Amino acid sequence: MNKLGDLAGEAPSSEHPKRSRSVVQDQVLANLKDALMSGVFLPGHVFSLRKLASSLGTSAMPVRESLNRLVAAHALEELPNGSVRVPKLSAKGLKEIFEIRLSIEAIATRIACETVGPSIVRDLREINDALLKSLKAMNMTEVLRLNQKFHFTIYEAADSEVLMPIIESLWLRCGPTMYYSFNSPNNLWDNSGHRLLQDAFKKKDPEAAQSAMVLDIGKTRDFLINQASIEQKAGPFASLGKVAV
């Protein structure tokens, strides 16, 4: 789990081994990407250089550089006062992102199912079992991390240097909204998509795997877009509660 999973309550460490600047920079960026994709930071969250540096055990410089790179990638946005925050996506923005996700991630799923061995079936089962256990315990940070791990286990198995950067860029932008799809009284996550995906990979049925991924992503899309439309005056997801970050 990345170091940002419990940012609000994490105290700075007293000792941090010396690391090269490039290694530190790469690690900070990787941790921030993981946190965004797994919903640690919610839409509208404004970043504190001091908190991030303290949590990651580094100086402000690599944190600032990582935030700037994520702004350049349109995963974050810079405010007029120079602060950086997670964008609040409109219903239109969410629809566009999820329509692309449906196409790209379905292709990656089909390729993965065509090429991978039986070990992925065990991996997906173990990840999903842990996800359901965390969901029962209402450990939403872990649920979101495991959901991302479940999906990326499939996408990475496709072994595509073209698809993976696209998928990552899409998750960087929609990941902050994912918390609401698992932790809203208006939406009950039923695990059907994950279950069908496991069955399809067990049977090595690429078409069924692709359809299951479309189902899984489509359910999340429909809920989030509908909620964003309802909340457009107050801001996307304003009434669904908050998680401390």
What's the domain range around 77? 3-85
110 and 54 inside one domain: no
Assess if residue 242 is contained within a domain.
Answer: no
User: With 80 as the cut, is the pLDDT of residue 245 above it?
Assistant: no
Scored b (16 or more CB within 10 A) or e, 10-36 reads eeeeeeeeeeeeeebbebbbebbbbbb
What CA–CA distances, in Å, run from 89 to 94, 186, 228?
A: 6, 19, 8
Both 47 and 79 in one domain: the answer is yes
Give pLDDT tens digits for 87-112: 998 889 999 999 999 999 999 999 99
Helices (H) and strands (E) in the chain, counts: 10, 2
Same domain, 61 and 154: no
137-159: pLDDT as tens digits: 989 899 999 999 999 999 999 99
What is the pLDDT, as a whole number, of residue 239? 38
| 39-79: pLDDT as tens digits | 999 999 999 999 999 998 899 999 999 999 999 999 999 99
Residue ending a domain, choose from 85, 111, 129:
85
Phi and psi at residue 34, in whole multiples of 5°? -60, -40
Look at residue 239 and tell me if it is in a domain: no
Instruction: Judge whether 95 lies within some domain.
Output: yes
Q: Are 100 and 218 found together in one domain?
A: yes
The CATH number assigned to the domain holding 47 equals 1.10.10.10
Look at residue 20 in the predicted model and tell me its pLDDT.
77
Across 235-240, average pLDDT: 42
Mean pLDDT within 29-36: 96
Q: Which CATH number belongs to the domain containing residue 135 in this structure?
A: 1.20.120.530
Tell whether 145 and 206 lie within a shared domain: yes
Domain shared by 100 and 216, yes or no: yes
pLDDT tens, residue by residue, 161-209: 999 999 999 999 999 998 888 766 665 678 999 999 999 999 999 999 9
More confident residue, 39 or 232: 39
Out of 40, 57, 85, pick the residue that ends a domain: 85
pLDDT band at 228 (very low <50, low <70, confident <90, very high): confident
Does residue 186 share a domain with residue 98? yes
The partner residues of 184 in beta bridges, in order of sequence, read: 187
What is the token pair recorded at 13?
A: 């460490």
Same domain, 41 and 104: no
- pTM (2 d.p.): 0.84
Last residue of a domain, one of 52, 85, 118: 85
Whether residue 123 is predicted with pLDDT greater than 60 in this model: the reply is yes
Indicate if 70 and 129 belong to the same structural domain: no
pLDDT at residue 77, rounded to an integer: 97
